[in-house]
Amino acid sequence: MSNALYDTAPDFSQPIAVLKHCHDRIRKQLQTLQNLLAHLPLHGADVDAQKAAQAVLKYFDHAAHLHHDDEEQNLLPMLQATARDADASLLAELVPAILAGHEQMDRDWTIIKSQLEQIANGTSTTLSASDVARFCDTYAAHMVQEETHIATMAKRLFTPEQMAQLGSAMQVRRGITPDLPHSQVPEQQALPVNHTVADGVVLADLRLDYGRASLTEQDVLDDPIAQFGKWFEEAMHAKVNEPNAMSVATVDADGKPSSRIVLIKQYDQRGFTWYTNYESQKGQQLRANPRAALLFFWSELERQVRIEGSVVQTAAEESDKYFYSRPVKSQIAAIASQQSAPIASREQMEANYEAAAAVSGEQPVRPAHWGGYRLDPVRIEFWQGRRSRFHDRIVYEKQADGSWVKERLQP
């Protein structure tokens, strides 16, 4: 029988294989834990027992949690954004159990960790058999479920680009600089003056080939507001990062545009609503030119929605209703801040807040300069990323009678 000189591991160009390698290492540590359980009654907290306890502590304290983060922050959300039909149904069943398993293992590890720390320093020989059994059994079942369903689904559904994205995220989590594809490795030569470089990468060469879904005229609903609602729910289900974040672009009286990110608070047949300070830059621009363009970009789903229309202030009753639904501290912040106006320092901002809080108490009053805007859409475009930049674009245009006409646009 021969042993390799070192434990080989797949590189991050094979992220699913890396996850399986992590499972194998976890299995070794679980076996060490079980061996320690059998060792202690016979030999006590001797040198071998202390080394075994230290090894298990080191792995589960410093490495195992990275595996959980890989799944929770990258693998599972990417699968949820990609899976359809039976795969999506299976994920809906599996993901809550996987997340619950992570929480159970974390709780069990806290209990076992305190016992191992005392064994590691030789002050105790106590290691609960029931605690170890529960921890090992939960982990073992968890890994089998992931290898049987999650890993196989990812290998079947993910594109090479998605695999690269997953591998890069795993590297960053471990403090490793992600490997660049060969096409992105800069050559040792002078670059043309019009090529911007960031972190060694030519920005013009940064490309992601989309391919998770398609969009046909038959896919979309006749009502664009209903279609927006459908996509918004899918973004929520896929755990898109801040699906309610949208860019609001406005133009001042001189035709100079500006944009910023705000959070949508409501959408219905009347339009799309957000809240802000009426005296802010966007408020002043909307007063001069009451038209705006909204943009939602859900990168995890390779989708964007562009919305254009006229803007009006919401009724005072609506502004009151939302203002008083906010946390008291947020209400006070809205009172204290003259949004977009210059101020000398952060300390002055804090002083203004304290002054507003002293006056407002626990029942602030909505200031007249703070409230809602609603964009009444006349044009809504749904964009789905496709391969080779041959994207799908379906646009709705509102007609004079209030009806909508949809058509396909070229990418």
- State which amino acid sits at residue 316: A
201 and 184 in contact (C-beta within 8 Å)?
A: yes
Please give the annotated binding residues, written as ranges: 260-265, 275-276, 282, 304, 322, 326, 330, 339-340, 383, 389-391, 393
CA distance 44 to 49: 7
Diameter over CA atoms, the chain:
88
CA distance 302 to 17: 26
Where helices occur in 83-196 by DSSP H, the ranges are 85-120, 129-145, 151-157, 160-173
- State which amino acid sits at residue 312: V
Q: What is the CA angle 74-79-83, rounded to 5?
A: 165
Beta bridge partners of 404: 398
Q: Element (H or E) spanning 54, and its range?
A: helix 47-62
Cβ–Cβ contacts within 10 Å for residue 75, how many? 25
Q: Identify the DSSP state of 192.
A: P
Q: Identify the DSSP state of 371.
A: E
Q: Report which of 311, 329, 306 is spatially closest to residue 371, judged by C-alpha positions.
A: 311
> Which pairs with CB-CB distance under 8 Å and at least 24 residues apart come from 291-296?
291/250, 291/251, 292/248, 292/249, 292/250, 292/373, 292/375, 293/248, 293/249, 294/246, 294/247, 294/248, 294/249, 294/264, 294/375, 295/246, 295/247, 295/249, 296/243, 296/245, 296/246
Please give the annotated binding residues for FMN, written as ranges: 260-265, 275-276, 282, 304, 339-340, 383, 393
Burial class (CB in 10 A: 0-12, 13-18, 19+), 83: buried
Please give the annotated binding residues for substrate, written as ranges: 265, 322, 326, 330, 389-391
Note the residue count of the chain.
Answer: 411
Burial class (CB in 10 A: 0-12, 13-18, 19+), 382: buried
The encoded tokens of residue 346 equal 């952060």
